[in-house]
Chain A
Protein backbone atom coordinates (compact mmCIF):
# COMPACT_ATOMS: atom_id res chain seq x y z
CA UNK A 1 0.00 0.00 0.00
CA UNK A 2 2.66 2.46 1.06
CA UNK A 3 4.91 1.26 -1.77
CA UNK A 4 2.06 1.74 -4.24
CA UNK A 5 1.41 5.23 -2.93
CA UNK A 6 5.09 6.04 -3.12
CA UNK A 7 5.30 4.77 -6.71
CA UNK A 8 2.15 6.69 -7.69
CA UNK A 9 3.56 9.82 -6.11
CA UNK A 10 6.91 9.35 -7.82
CA UNK A 11 5.24 8.82 -11.20
CA UNK A 12 3.20 11.99 -10.72
CA UNK A 13 6.26 13.99 -9.79
CA UNK A 14 8.16 12.60 -12.79
CA UNK A 15 5.20 13.36 -15.09
CA UNK A 16 5.34 16.96 -13.99
CA UNK A 17 8.90 17.01 -15.27
CA UNK A 18 7.63 16.31 -18.79
CA UNK A 19 7.77 19.49 -20.79
CA UNK A 20 5.99 20.08 -24.06
CA UNK A 21 8.20 21.82 -26.58
CA UNK A 22 6.21 24.96 -27.27
CA UNK A 23 5.74 26.22 -30.83
CA UNK A 24 8.03 29.18 -30.16
CA UNK A 25 10.80 26.92 -28.83
CA UNK A 26 11.33 24.95 -32.02
CA UNK A 27 14.18 27.03 -33.36
CA UNK A 28 16.78 24.33 -32.78
CA UNK A 29 14.52 21.57 -34.08
CA UNK A 30 13.99 23.56 -37.26
CA UNK A 31 17.72 23.62 -38.02
CA UNK A 32 18.98 21.69 -41.00
CA UNK A 33 21.29 19.61 -38.79
CA UNK A 34 18.27 18.32 -36.91
CA UNK A 35 16.44 16.89 -39.93
CA UNK A 36 16.06 13.12 -40.40
CA UNK A 37 17.58 13.33 -43.86
CA UNK A 38 20.22 15.76 -45.06
CA UNK A 39 18.54 16.21 -48.43
CA UNK A 40 14.76 15.91 -48.62
CA UNK A 41 14.63 15.64 -52.43
CA UNK A 42 17.20 12.86 -52.45
CA UNK A 43 15.33 10.99 -49.71
CA UNK A 44 12.05 11.23 -51.67
CA UNK A 45 13.68 9.91 -54.83
CA UNK A 46 15.22 7.00 -52.93
CA UNK A 47 11.92 6.10 -51.28
CA UNK A 48 10.19 6.26 -54.68
CA UNK A 49 12.70 3.83 -56.17
CA UNK A 50 12.56 1.60 -53.10
CA UNK A 51 8.76 1.50 -53.21
CA UNK A 52 8.73 0.51 -56.88
CA UNK A 53 11.43 -2.16 -56.46
CA UNK A 54 9.88 -3.67 -53.34
CA UNK A 55 6.25 -3.20 -54.32
CA UNK A 56 5.46 -6.92 -54.30
CA UNK A 57 6.27 -7.13 -50.61
CA UNK A 58 4.52 -3.92 -49.75
CA UNK A 59 7.43 -1.51 -50.21
CA UNK A 60 8.08 0.73 -47.24
CA UNK A 61 4.43 0.47 -46.18
CA UNK A 62 2.44 -2.44 -44.76
CA UNK A 63 3.02 -5.92 -46.15
CA UNK A 64 0.62 -6.63 -48.93
CA UNK A 65 0.56 -7.24 -52.62
CA UNK A 66 -1.88 -9.19 -54.65
CA UNK A 67 -4.88 -7.01 -54.12
CA UNK A 68 -3.56 -4.28 -56.37
CA UNK A 69 -4.15 -1.66 -53.72
CA UNK A 70 -0.57 -0.93 -52.83
Chain B
Protein backbone atom coordinates (compact mmCIF):
# COMPACT_ATOMS: atom_id res chain seq x y z
CA UNK B 1 0.00 0.00 0.00
CA UNK B 2 2.63 2.52 1.15
CA UNK B 3 4.82 1.51 -1.74
CA UNK B 4 2.06 2.28 -4.21
CA UNK B 5 1.43 5.68 -2.63
CA UNK B 6 5.14 6.50 -2.74
CA UNK B 7 5.37 5.50 -6.38
CA UNK B 8 2.32 7.65 -7.17
CA UNK B 9 3.83 10.63 -5.32
CA UNK B 10 7.12 10.18 -7.18
CA UNK B 11 5.26 10.07 -10.48
CA UNK B 12 3.27 13.24 -9.86
CA UNK B 13 5.97 15.24 -8.06
CA UNK B 14 7.79 16.45 -11.18
CA UNK B 15 4.63 18.25 -12.29
CA UNK B 16 4.98 20.62 -9.36
CA UNK B 17 8.68 21.33 -9.92
CA UNK B 18 9.78 24.22 -12.06
CA UNK B 19 12.94 25.20 -13.78
CA UNK B 20 14.41 28.54 -12.80
CA UNK B 21 17.08 31.01 -13.74
CA UNK B 22 19.87 30.55 -11.19
CA UNK B 23 22.61 33.02 -10.33
CA UNK B 24 25.84 31.82 -11.92
CA UNK B 25 24.14 29.90 -14.72
CA UNK B 26 23.19 30.84 -18.26
CA UNK B 27 19.94 32.78 -18.54
CA UNK B 28 17.19 30.79 -20.34
CA UNK B 29 16.84 31.95 -23.93
CA UNK B 30 13.72 33.89 -24.82
CA UNK B 31 12.32 35.24 -28.04
CA UNK B 32 9.12 37.28 -27.83
CA UNK B 33 7.10 39.75 -29.88
CA UNK B 34 7.36 43.45 -29.07
CA UNK B 35 4.39 45.06 -27.33
CA UNK B 36 4.41 47.83 -29.91
CA UNK B 37 5.33 46.89 -33.48
CA UNK B 38 5.92 43.66 -35.33
CA UNK B 39 9.45 42.97 -34.17
CA UNK B 40 10.52 39.82 -32.32
CA UNK B 41 13.29 40.35 -29.80
CA UNK B 42 15.48 37.60 -28.38
CA UNK B 43 17.81 37.68 -25.41
CA UNK B 44 20.67 36.24 -27.48
CA UNK B 45 20.48 39.25 -29.83
CA UNK B 46 21.58 41.37 -26.84
CA UNK B 47 24.62 39.17 -26.07
CA UNK B 48 27.69 41.27 -25.32
CA UNK B 49 25.61 43.74 -23.34
CA UNK B 50 24.72 43.78 -19.68
CA UNK B 51 20.96 43.14 -19.73
CA UNK B 52 18.33 43.68 -17.06
CA UNK B 53 15.43 41.34 -17.89
CA UNK B 54 12.43 42.84 -16.13
CA UNK B 55 9.21 40.86 -15.67
CA UNK B 56 6.33 43.27 -15.12
CA UNK B 57 2.59 43.72 -15.51
CA UNK B 58 0.29 46.70 -15.96
CA UNK B 59 -1.60 45.81 -12.75
CA UNK B 60 1.57 45.74 -10.64
CA UNK B 61 2.10 48.87 -8.53
CA UNK B 62 5.86 48.67 -7.93
CA UNK B 63 6.39 48.18 -11.69
CA UNK B 64 5.12 51.70 -12.17
CA UNK B 65 7.87 52.92 -9.84
CA UNK B 66 10.56 50.90 -11.60
CA UNK B 67 9.94 52.05 -15.17
CA UNK B 68 11.18 55.66 -14.94
CA UNK B 69 14.20 54.52 -12.93
CA UNK B 70 15.12 51.79 -15.41
CA UNK B 71 14.74 54.32 -18.21
CA UNK B 72 17.14 56.64 -16.38
CA UNK B 73 19.67 53.82 -15.90
CA UNK B 74 19.44 52.98 -19.57
CA UNK B 75 19.88 56.64 -20.57
CA UNK B 76 22.96 56.94 -18.36
CA UNK B 77 24.61 53.58 -19.01
CA UNK B 78 23.30 52.57 -22.45
CA UNK B 79 26.40 53.83 -24.24
CA UNK B 80 28.59 51.67 -22.04
CA UNK B 81 26.63 48.57 -23.05
CA UNK B 82 23.62 48.35 -20.74
CA UNK B 83 20.16 47.37 -21.97
CA UNK B 84 16.80 46.72 -20.37
CA UNK B 85 14.52 44.03 -21.76
CA UNK B 86 11.07 44.36 -20.20
CA UNK B 87 8.69 41.41 -20.47
CA UNK B 88 5.01 42.14 -19.96
CA UNK B 89 3.15 39.17 -18.47
CA UNK B 90 -0.27 40.76 -18.94
CA UNK B 91 -2.78 38.37 -20.45
CA UNK B 92 -4.02 41.11 -22.76
CA UNK B 93 -1.38 42.99 -24.70
CA UNK B 94 -3.73 46.01 -24.73
CA UNK B 95 -3.20 46.43 -20.96
CA UNK B 96 0.56 46.64 -21.52
CA UNK B 97 0.09 49.16 -24.33
CA UNK B 98 -2.14 51.37 -22.14
CA UNK B 99 0.49 51.24 -19.38
CA UNK B 100 3.25 52.24 -21.80
CA UNK B 101 1.24 55.21 -22.95
CA UNK B 102 1.14 56.43 -19.35
CA UNK B 103 4.74 55.49 -18.59
CA UNK B 104 6.62 55.63 -21.88
CA UNK B 105 10.07 54.06 -22.20
CA UNK B 106 12.55 53.73 -25.04
CA UNK B 107 13.96 50.31 -24.15
CA UNK B 108 12.52 47.17 -25.76
CA UNK B 109 9.30 45.85 -24.21
CA UNK B 110 8.05 42.42 -25.26
CA UNK B 111 4.93 40.46 -24.40
CA UNK B 112 4.34 36.95 -23.06
CA UNK B 113 0.64 36.45 -22.32
CA UNK B 114 0.97 32.69 -21.83
CA UNK B 115 3.42 32.93 -18.95
CA UNK B 116 5.94 30.49 -20.44
CA UNK B 117 8.94 32.78 -19.93
CA UNK B 118 8.23 33.71 -16.29
CA UNK B 119 7.74 29.98 -15.62
CA UNK B 120 11.09 29.19 -17.26
CA UNK B 121 12.77 31.86 -15.13
CA UNK B 122 10.96 30.80 -11.96
CA UNK B 123 9.58 34.26 -11.22
CA UNK B 124 8.37 34.40 -7.59
CA UNK B 125 6.89 37.89 -7.45
CA UNK B 126 6.11 40.96 -9.51
CA UNK B 127 8.25 42.63 -10.59
CA UNK B 128 11.32 40.40 -10.78
CA UNK B 129 14.47 41.48 -12.58
CA UNK B 130 17.40 39.36 -13.71
CA UNK B 131 20.74 41.05 -14.19
CA UNK B 132 22.57 39.22 -16.94
CA UNK B 133 26.25 39.84 -17.77
CA UNK B 134 27.89 40.21 -21.17
CA UNK B 135 28.29 36.44 -21.49
CA UNK B 136 24.60 35.72 -20.85
CA UNK B 137 25.09 34.50 -17.27
CA UNK B 138 22.56 35.48 -14.59
CA UNK B 139 24.45 37.50 -11.97
CA UNK B 140 21.70 38.86 -9.78
CA UNK B 141 17.97 38.41 -9.15
CA UNK B 142 15.98 41.39 -7.96
CA UNK B 143 12.52 40.81 -6.51
CA UNK B 144 10.02 43.59 -5.94
CA UNK B 145 10.89 47.24 -6.46
CA UNK B 146 11.22 50.25 -4.18
CA UNK B 147 12.26 53.76 -5.01
CA UNK B 148 15.63 53.29 -3.30
CA UNK B 149 16.46 50.20 -5.38
CA UNK B 150 17.55 52.25 -8.40
CA UNK B 151 20.87 53.31 -6.91
CA UNK B 152 21.70 49.81 -5.66
CA UNK B 153 20.94 48.45 -9.09
CA UNK B 154 23.12 51.11 -10.70
CA UNK B 155 26.10 50.03 -8.58
CA UNK B 156 25.65 46.39 -9.62
CA UNK B 157 25.29 47.30 -13.30
CA UNK B 158 28.39 49.51 -13.23
CA UNK B 159 30.38 46.63 -11.70
CA UNK B 160 29.23 44.26 -14.44
CA UNK B 161 29.93 46.84 -17.16
CA UNK B 162 33.50 47.11 -15.87
CA UNK B 163 34.15 43.40 -16.29
CA UNK B 164 36.21 42.47 -19.35
CA UNK B 165 34.45 40.24 -21.81
Q: A residues near B, CB below 8 A?
A: 1, 4-5, 8-9, 12, 15-16, 22-27, 30-31
Contact of A23 among B15, B90, B118 (CB under 8 A): B118
Residue among A8, A16, A25, A27 with max Cβ neighbours from chain B (10 Å): A27
Kindly identify which residue among A4, A23, A31 contacts B126, using a CB–CB cutoff of 8 Å. Answer: A23
Q: Are A5 and B57 in contact (CB under 8 A)?
A: no
Query: Among B4, B95, B123, which residue has its beta carbon within 8 angstroms of that of A24?
Result: B123
Contact check, A27 vs B91: say whether CB atoms are below 8 A apart: yes
A65 to B: closest C-beta gap in Å:
38
- B59 x A26 contact (CB < 8 A): yes
* Cβ contacts A to B, 6 pairs, < 8 Å: A8-B5, A12-B9, A15-B12, A24-B123, A27-B90, A31-B59
- Residue numbers in A under 8 Å from B9 (CB-CB): 12
* B1, CB-defined interface residue at 8 Å: yes
Residues of chain B whose beta carbon lies under 8 Å from any beta carbon of chain A: 1, 4-5, 8-9, 12, 15, 55, 57-60, 89-91, 95, 115, 118-119, 123-126, 128
- A46–B60 Cα gap in the complex (Å)? 27
Judged by DSSP, the binding face of B is loop
Q: Which residues of B contact A25 (CB under 8 A)?
A: 115
What residues of A have a CB within 8 angstroms of the CB of B58 in the complex?
27
- Determine the chain B residues whose CB is within 8 A of the CB of A1 once the complex forms: 1
Find the B residue at minimum CB distance from A31: B59
- Bound-state CA distance A51–B5 (Å) is 49
A22: chain B residues within 8 A (beta carbon): 115, 118-119, 123
Shortest CB distance A30–B (Å): 4
Q: Which partner residue on chain A sits nearest B9 by CB separation?
A: A12
Residue of A at shortest CB range from B60? A30
Query: Whose C-beta in chain B lies nearest to the C-beta of A2?
Result: B1
Contacting pair A12 B115 (CB below 8 A) = no
CB within 8 Å for A9 and B8 given contacts A23-B124, A26-B59: yes
Alpha-carbon separation in the docked complex, A23 to B123 (Å): 7
Q: Chain B contacts of A16 at CB under 8 A?
A: 12, 15
User: Chain A residue with minimal CB distance to B117?
Assistant: A24
Q: Which residues of B contact A24 (CB under 8 A)?
A: 55, 57, 89, 115, 118, 123, 126
